[in-house]
Amino acid sequence: MAVWNPKIECAKRSEIEAIQLERLKWSVQHAYDHVPMYHDKMVKAGVKPSDIRTLKDISKIPLTTKTELREQYPFKLLAVPMREVVRIHASSGTTGQPITAGYTRRDLDTWAECIARIATAGGATADDIAQISFGYTLFTGAFGLHGGLEKIGCAIIPISSGNTERQINIMRDFGSTVLIATPSYALYMAEVAERMDALKDIRLRVDANQGYNVETALEVLPTFEKLHIDAVEQCLPWWDFDGAAELMQKNATSVKLMLDESIHTPYDAQRASKLHCADYYNIKLMKCGGLYTGAQIADIAQETGVKCMVGCMQENKISITAGVSLVAAKQAIVEADCDSFMFFKGDDDGIAGGFDRKGGIFTLLDKPGLGIDMDI
């Protein structure tokens, strides 16, 4: 999984908990001092900010009901002067008085940072074109995703919701690679796209991340086929080679099956190939141990008619160059997902050489070895 902010996301648990406790104490004190509703509820519950000494003490804070939030309409929940508020959002109010929220500039920055982490973990990069089909209204969703995706460098299509045929045409014409929508609307878009005969022009893949068993995978594969999903990655738990073989045998759809977490070593590839467990292997050098074992896996795949792609984890330009070199060297490798170096400062973290990149095209340099120049 890719990481946007390694300093905090990869911190030790003790370090994260220290930050959480510091911020919990500050938030409780700030709400106690500046929001009458929270002050009164804490006094009634016999709780003072100084009672919050550990993370477990969060259980001492009284719960807030939706009715109480509605009663603070419109701005009684603000903990800062209105002059510090730069944006106001609210719930729809369809079931009662809307619940409002005011955001400071710092709030928006924090929001964008959180979404950047989520989007990066989901595979979004600066090379993506993100189509946001949430409504750009008082609803918070579209604006939040917009800020976070923009922060990581995605090209944003702020198309909002509705006008579904236009959504499909834009997706096809602009080459959208990330869709932001409610699950129900995404399914409806797929139905409309199918009626428009547009799905054949849009290539999509699904990473199941070991979330199915054989039975559930067989249930969803026909739906994926209707949606013109090209391939599904790692349907079953990594250890279930027999299940993967059964799924391959029973898969009557055109959807290709890929193994990722199951393929760590050449032995895994041999076992998967012998059982005929997949159409594709996803080779990741940081997972399998480097170029030598990656090349062995690719050779085994080629001998048994399995195609490969080279993926990546949280890697800088050095290991990505090795991955790109493997792609260029092995006939069985037909695709690559080598973008994690772009998460580092300046795309390469001060590492020169290796390859040139123009858009999604990588060109290896004519230099010895990996062709890396280290500025140490």
In DSSP notation, 123-138 reads T--TT-EEEE-S--SS
Token pair of 117 as six digits: 């982490």
Distance CA 141, CA 132 (A): 9
Computed over every residue of the chain, the mean pLDDT equals: 91
Report pLDDT for 343.
65
- CA distances (Å), origin 36, targets 10, 31, 41, 78, 254: 37, 8, 9, 10, 60
Q: Tell me which residue of 65, 54, 56, 60 sits closest to 32, measured CA to CA.
A: 60
Burial per residue of 184-222, b for 16 or more beta-carbon CB atoms within 10 angstroms, e otherwise: ebeeebbeebeeeebbeebeeebbbebebebeebbebbe
Percent of the chain whose predicted confidence (pLDDT) is above 70: 96
CATH fourth-level superfamily of 71-202: ANL, N-terminal domain (3.40.50.12780)
What does the pLDDT average to over 257-269?
Answer: 96
Q: By mean pLDDT, which of 109-118, 288-297, 333-342 is the weakest? A: 333-342
What pLDDT is stored for residue 272 in this prediction? 97
Where are the strands (E) in 59-138, listed by range?
Answer: 85-90, 100-104, 129-132
CATH code 3.40.50.12780 region(s) in the chain: 71-202
Lowest mean pLDDT among 87-96, 280-289, 294-303: 87-96
Q: What is the pTM of this model?
A: 0.66
d(CA 178, CA 115): 14
Q: List C-alpha distances in Å: 324 to 62, 268, 321, 336, 362.
A: 55, 22, 5, 8, 8
Q: Residue 81: is its pLDDT beyond 60?
A: yes
Report the pLDDT value the prediction gives residue 346, as an integer from 0 to 100.
57
Least confident of 5-9, 66-70, 307-311, 338-342: 338-342
Task: Look at residues 316, 352, 356, 310 and name the one whose alpha carbon lies nearest to residue 334.
Answer: 310
Q: How confident is the model at residue 309 (pLDDT cuts 50, 70, 90)?
A: very high
Higher pLDDT, 373 or 83: 83
What mean pLDDT is predicted for residues 229-243? 95
pLDDT of res. 125: 85
pLDDT digits (tens, 9 = 90+) for 311-347: 988 788 899 999 999 999 999 999 888 877 776 655 5
- The whole-angstrom separation of Cα 235 and Cα 15 is 34
**What pLDDT score was predicted for residue 70?**
93
Confidence of residue 115 (pLDDT cuts 50, 70, 90): very high
d(CA 149, CA 146): 5
Residues 348, 183: Cα–Cα separation, whole Å: 35
Local confidence band at 27 (pLDDT 50, 70, 90 cut-offs): very high
Q: Find the angle CA(61)-CA(66)-CA(71) to the nearest 5 degrees.
A: 100
Taking alpha carbons only, the member of 290, 280, 196 closest to residue 244 is: 280
CA 166/CA 233 separation, integer angstroms: 30
